[in-house]
Structure 1
């Protein structure tokens, strides 16, 4: 019987099979968690190495129908393998499965998956309040989520660590673009705080974590994460977690009153009898009175009224613009009107993903940084446009849509970082073959590389499958900052009313109240709906 005051834990070492030096993590988990939960832990600590075609086994060498080994998987695994001896992973407890001394292996059953060795160490008794999963140690950065096995990762690291390699700069540029503007790629770096944050997002009380059971999240920031190519998601998630964007906005009544003065006048006028329309145009007399009251020109006054209508603060009826119930009630309390403007007007004026990224740059302080400015926004928009296409390509340039491990990395022209790796392998094999070697095509198999003198130990067990340059049509154009500024013109005009300014040197001036405004706008509910499947 389980104690109500103690938690029975087990220390596990999780090691990616293949890369040298090793990439490993040490975690402490509740023995009563299932192998389905352990799968989610593996996904979290190795940053997204995920595929629904997966399997746990305690013997890699036994024949398929062997009685000497055990295998565990979910229902999809049982269907894929057509093997009635596969045990339901949701019913198998970690402590019971790992009671014997031999290790467990977790891997993908589809092409080019990774293999993780699970070794059990000592049992630990701690207080029941102890978290059910925590990371205690580890070494080296996880491979990129779409990395095609340890061979490709080893080549990637080897090229980046060789200053004299002719492909080093091209590969570095491709990888940096792939992981997005919020990340950097250091193969030796292990961020234990970030790994623990990902583990803390897991719910050990859920019957099955991971694919298909993540909660529907409706905020624009979650929408941005879900739309990015998989290798770039972790960087944005980390940025959101460390920027304090989940904290409530803080603004005083005096600050809110000053920030909403212009819109407050328009809404108050519309709530008190309405703003007359003459042939669908705002009464010039009201425009003149408003301009005098607010100290602005008539053109700006007309724009202010148009923005209030665009943000659904006003509606037209009976030849007048009238305030709706929400805005009429909010105008009595400056902080409520400020919050309403952030949620409603910001959502309406912000042009989709580029607007949300611009608001994020304001909220996290990066827009005011002269070293960053709008650069991250432009780079992220380029990645998001790549994500809209969602082209998944196999080694032969063919689609493999039923596998979550397929590649959605951005490419310049007809090349991405996988293609640079393939060229490195091809060139190394050609160089190792000597002058009399027959020139290689874009594709070669493991036995061909051995014949040409290329070191066979670098190849995966599945090296008999050909390793080829992917073939794609059409490049992903970079998004120029000037193009993005033109797209954001309406939003920038709106935010200038809340203090946004542009310095002579092109730098941005962002007052603290505008940072709070952007934070409140990004927390708006119901702006977007995120698919249920979100990779860790």
Structure 2
């Protein structure tokens, strides 16, 4: 008999449920403690988190092994009950609505196992077996991962047979498809987790389950203390939030950053020199709207840029470092042009003798001053990678940012993937600011992008702002 959610289960029992993916060898399994009053739509969300899927495919529950029915083929297996989400309910009038069905009334000692199928193409079959039950202690979580082994198979890897073949190929460098499949795995897995078939982070899963079922006394989701990263996390598809939050935790963004006065003065030197040179009275531009040649030469000399520059370095339109510094200072809210004169903003006037304050001002400006939300997202993703400190090649940064932007839903057209040139364009203004601040050390092209310790500290401050 199926019990509807309206027939209240008092939730006084915790069911101990072993979940295993049928056909996996070695076994991929989870041991869960589940509140008996959870409905099957809630169990779907639990399984997605506990196993490690990304919620990108359809699913259903049945009380009969789908493989057994296929093998029988002779009418000896009874017609199964099938529970589905609302959007599949009209496909078969015999189906039941999963949100109306309570786990404790379906999975019992007498019922036999329950089966959960995810992705009707690949056909990932999960066997849910009741192994015991205990009274629920006060304030116990409604869902908790107790134990388990191995990560979920990769989405779209061709079912359990295809996934096992994939693992065999990855373990054989001489295989003709090894390089292609390794690249596919890297892109599919993404930059926020390493692909390790043996890996299972139980604490991370339980943190996500706590977010899924907040404690009754607060009835509020647990959120990150970092406003920008928390907002970014909430905009990600639910299926990748666990991976992203784990990556944030590894980056240790809660670490408090202290910037010494001499470090702040050294890193902000280009912007500090420019706003001091303009001064409170402003700086007249040439008739063509450029900085005077003497000022261009002063900048190149004072900032030590003339050593790496070929040319006279006296015309702003032909002296890229100075031109880029001026444009960057304008975008970041330090200067503006008024009737042929460069003037500093009121914020810059307050910071003329405060390098530490300027450092913090620039961190907030990098976080928030962008022409388009896609630029902002690209900047936050780049700064996360800088804070994490795991990459050195610029192309690796671009690939990581491209994955994040695609996951957030950005594209250049329907079905189009973001290419490195597009991502590089979105990051161009941020790149200039980081170069001016000395956060990265390759002004020539960022082919190798070695981040300084000050760069990591700056990225953390931006993400905490």
TM-score by length of 1: 0.61
* Residue 397 (structure 2) aligns with: 377
2:248 to 209, 216, 240: 240
Q: Is the CA contact 1:57–1:71 (under 8 Å) kept in the aligned structure 2?
A: yes
1:366 to 376, 379, 390: 390
Q: Is the CA contact 2:435–2:442 (under 8 Å) kept in the aligned structure 1?
A: no
* Residue 123 (structure 2) aligns with: 113
* Residue 146 (structure 2) aligns with: 136
| Residues 1:47 and 2:52 are matched in the alignment | yes
1:513 to 436, 454, 462: 454
| Residues 1:192 and 2:202 are matched in the alignment | yes
Unmatched runs of 5 consecutive residues or more in structure 1 = 207-213, 393-407, 411-475, 525-536
| Residues 1:12 and 2:17 are matched in the alignment | yes
Q: Residues 190-249 of structure 1: CA distance to partner in whole angstroms, max 9, x if unpaired?
A: 34344334434434479xxxxxxx99x995898699889x8x987665433311135554
2:436 to 474, 483, 497: 497
SS in 2 for 1:117: strand
* Residue 280 (structure 2) aligns with: 272
1:338 to 354, 359, 363: 359
Work out the CA distance in 2 between the residues paired with 1:13 and 1:510: 46
* Residue 335 (structure 2) aligns with: 314
Work out the CA distance in 2 between the residues paired with 1:138 and 1:27: 9
Q: Is the CA contact 1:35–1:92 (under 8 Å) kept in the aligned structure 2?
A: yes
Work out the CA distance in 1 between the residues paired with 2:300 and 2:199: 60
Work out the CA distance in 1 between the residues paired with 2:139 and 2:395: 44
* Residue 309 (structure 2) aligns with: none
* Residue 251 (structure 1) aligns with: 259
* Residue 527 (structure 1) aligns with: none
Work out the CA distance in 2 between the residues paired with 1:218 and 1:77: 37
Work out the CA distance in 1 between the residues paired with 2:97 and 2:236: 34
Q: Residues 339-374 of structure 1: CA distance to partner in whole angstroms, max 9, x if unpaired?
A: 22123246659977776555344322234xxxx443
Q: Residues 123-165 of structure 1: CA distance to partner in whole angstroms, max 9, x if unpaired?
A: 2346534433322211222100223322212322344456775
* Residue 41 (structure 2) aligns with: 36
Q: Is the CA contact 2:9–2:36 (under 8 Å) kept in the aligned structure 1?
A: no
Q: Is the CA contact 1:53–1:109 (under 8 Å) kept in the aligned structure 2?
A: yes
Work out the CA distance in 1 between the residues paired with 2:273 and 2:443: 29
- The alignment of Structure 1 onto Structure 2 pairs a total of residues equal to 419
Work out the CA distance in 2 between the residues paired with 1:304 and 1:317: 18
Work out the CA distance in 2 between the residues paired with 1:225 and 1:152: 32
SS in 1 for 2:31: strand
Shift of 1:97: 3.4
Q: Residues 277-335 of structure 1: CA distance to partner in whole angstroms, max 9, x if unpaired?
A: 44362553993797499565775555433321122333333443344455555667544
SS in 2 for 1:362: helix
Work out the CA distance in 1 between the residues paired with 2:63 and 2:429: 60
Work out the CA distance in 2 between the residues paired with 1:247 and 1:29: 35
Work out the CA distance in 2 between the residues paired with 1:189 and 1:278: 63
Shift of 1:80: 3.5
Q: Is the CA contact 1:351–1:487 (under 8 Å) kept in the aligned structure 2?
A: yes
Q: Is the CA contact 2:19–2:128 (under 8 Å) kept in the aligned structure 1?
A: yes
Q: Is the CA contact 2:328–2:429 (under 8 Å) kept in the aligned structure 1?
A: no
TM-score by length of 2: 0.69
* Residue 73 (structure 1) aligns with: 84
Q: Is the CA contact 1:8–1:31 (under 8 Å) kept in the aligned structure 2?
A: yes
Change (3 A) 1:338 1:153: same
* Residue 405 (structure 1) aligns with: none
Q: Residues 499-536 of structure 1: CA distance to partner in whole angstroms, max 9, x if unpaired?
A: 332599x8655433221212233456xxxxxxxxxxxx
Residues 261-270 or 100-109, more deviating: 261-270
Q: Residues 147-194 of structure 1: CA distance to partner in whole angstroms, max 9, x if unpaired?
A: 332221232234445677554555445434443455443433334344
Change (3 A) 1:205 1:191: closer
1:98 to 99, 107, 112: 107
Work out the CA distance in 1 between the residues paired with 2:122 and 2:424: 41
Shift of 1:57: 2.6
Residues 58-457 of structure 1 aligned to structure 2 (within 5 Å): 58-60=63-65, 70-83=81-94, 86-89=96-99, 91-101=100-110, 102-108=112-118, 110-125=120-135, 127-161=137-171, 167-168=177-178, 170-181=180-191, 183-204=193-214, 219=228, 238-245=246-253, 247=255, 249-267=257-275, 272-279=280-287, 281=289, 284=292, 287=295, 291=299, 303-329=324-350, 334-345=355-366, 348=370, 358-367=382-391, 372-374=392-394, 376-380=396-400, 388=411
Q: Residues 441-474 of structure 1: CA distance to partner in whole angstroms, max 9, x if unpaired?
A: xxxxxxxxxxxxxxxxxxxxxxxxxxxxxxxxxx
Q: Is the CA contact 2:35–2:142 (under 8 Å) kept in the aligned structure 1?
A: yes
Work out the CA distance in 1 between the residues paired with 2:176 and 2:441: 44
Q: Residues 22-62 of structure 1: CA distance to partner in whole angstroms, max 9, x if unpaired?
A: 21111223333332221111111222253463222323579
SS in 1 for 2:459: helix
Q: Is the CA contact 1:159–1:167 (under 8 Å) kept in the aligned structure 2?
A: yes
SS in 2 for 1:281: coil
SS in 1 for 2:454: helix
Change (3 A) 1:314 1:81: farther
Work out the CA distance in 1 between the residues paired with 2:186 and 2:57: 27
